[in-house]
Amino acid sequence: MTKPHDDNEQSHVDRREFMAAAAGMAAAVLAAHETNAAGHASTPANFAPEDRVARPVSAGSRILITGANRGLGFEFARQYAELDTRIIATCRTPDKATALQELAADNPGIVIEKLDVTDLENIDELATKYAGEPIDVLLNNAGIGGGAENQIFGKLNYPVFFEVMSVNVVGPIKMCEAFRKNVEASNLKKMITVSSSQGSIAEVMMPMLYWYRSSKAAVNMQMVNLALQMRRRKVIVGLVTPGATATDFIPEPFRSRIPSIRQPEVAAADMMRNIDRFTLENSGSYFNYDDTVLPW
């Protein structure tokens, strides 16, 4: 884990550019300080009545799902297909995704696309292919856990950190960048990322999964920024969590040690209900599977 020494590291930082951001940063810090002292939150944004109305996915909605070959992604595809939606189901190796292929054979609304979310060029290519086509819900589902054994203090495996970040953080934000116009052109205008309650810093009770947890805190931060960014364009950004689910994501022997483990069909249904709840007003929220809002 060695990077070449870069003597010019600071020189590429354009100070004038940074100035604008830093000015906002300083102002925000000072403003936050003042509002805290005054005991009230910052001024809420103004929303039109329609911005407060939750519009659910319905027949004809178009949904792009990453990592749709198995686990929660497959469940999303299966259950959304039952609603007569049109689905772009992506996975790294469609040839091996037999369950997804069978599902697509029974549902003409499903199109399978090859996509590795860590391959940014691959994302751009897919976006080019779908240019001009509205996508109602961009569903960033693909994610990795990184392996618990790589995330133990004292023997941390640092290269794995970057793998986890690449799939769980860079993948989702890059997808949002690439498919921004498709979502903007749609009816529902939602960019949803499957996060995890493990990403809640406030809820950490035991030390574990350093990489996975920090990737989810990081993606939460990016999506909150994106929610603020896209508000003017009426694009809704949301975070949902599945809860501990019995998929390949939680391998044995861990899976059978979690008494509260949930079935993927239940977890996906819970997230779909929460995806429907998102409006422009609550954009940027972190909805747990039980409909509560998780603390950051």
The footprint of other proteins on residues 165-184 (CB under 8 A) is 165, 169-170, 173-174, 176-177, 180
| Coil, strand or helix at 286 | strand
> 227 near 284, Cβ under 8 Å?
yes
Residues 225-284 that bind other proteins (CB under 8 A): 225-226, 228-229
Six-digit token pair at 155? 């023997």
**Residue 28 binds other proteins (CB under 8 A):** yes
| Binding-site string for other proteins from residue 117 to residue 146, where x marks contact by CB under 8 A and - marks none | ---x--------------------------
Least distance between other proteins and beta carbon 263 (Å): 28
User: Which residues have C-beta within 8 Å of that of residue 145, sequence separation ≥ 6?
Assistant: 164, 209, 212, 249, 250
In sequence order, the β-bridge partners of residue 110 are 87
Cis peptide before 253 (omega within 30 of 0): yes
Instruction: Give the Å distances, CA to CA, from 143 to 1, 81, 87, 146.
Output: 23, 22, 19, 9
Stretch that binds other proteins, among 19-27, 89-97, 241-249, 263-271 (CB under 8 A): 19-27
Strands (E), 37-179: 62-65, 86-91, 110-114, 137-140
Based on the shown chain and the rule CB under 8 A, indicate whether residue 8 belongs to the binding site for other proteins: no
Q: Which is nearer to other proteins, 26 or 185 (CB)?
A: 26
By CB atoms closer than 10 A (0-12, 13-18, 19+), residue 71 is: buried
Cα–Cα distance, 9 to 5 (Å, whole number): 9
Nearer of residues 53 and 185 to other proteins, judged by Cβ? 185
Token pair in block for residue 222: 């990016």
When the beta carbons of 58 and 225 are compared against other proteins, the nearer one is 225
CB atoms within 10 A of CB 201: 12
Give the one residue of 34, 39, 108, 155 binding other proteins; rule: CB under 8 A.
155
CA atoms within 13 A on the CB side of 186: 28
224 sits near other proteins (criterion: CB under 8 A): yes
CB of 182 to other proteins, least distance (A): 14
> Shortest approach of other proteins to residue 21 CB, angstroms?
4
Residue 40 touching other proteins (CB under 8 A):
no
| Contact set for other proteins, span 193-212 (CB under 8 A) | 199-202, 204-208, 210
Which residue, 59 or 205, has its beta carbon nearer to other proteins?
A: 205
Place of tokens 């689910």: 245
With CB under 8 A as the contact rule, the residue among 42, 98, 187, 263 that binds other proteins is: 42
Does 222 engage in binding with other proteins (CB under 8 A)?
A: yes
Helices (H), 130-287: 158-165, 171-178, 180-184, 210-230, 254-257, 264-277
Residue 293 as a binder of other proteins (CB under 8 A): the answer is no
Q: Which stretch binds other proteins (CB under 8 A): 108-116, 141-149, 224-232, 267-275?
A: 224-232
Q: Does 292 bind other proteins (CB under 8 A)?
A: no
Tell me the site size for other proteins, rule CB under 8 A.
73
Assess 38 for contact with other proteins (CB under 8 A): no
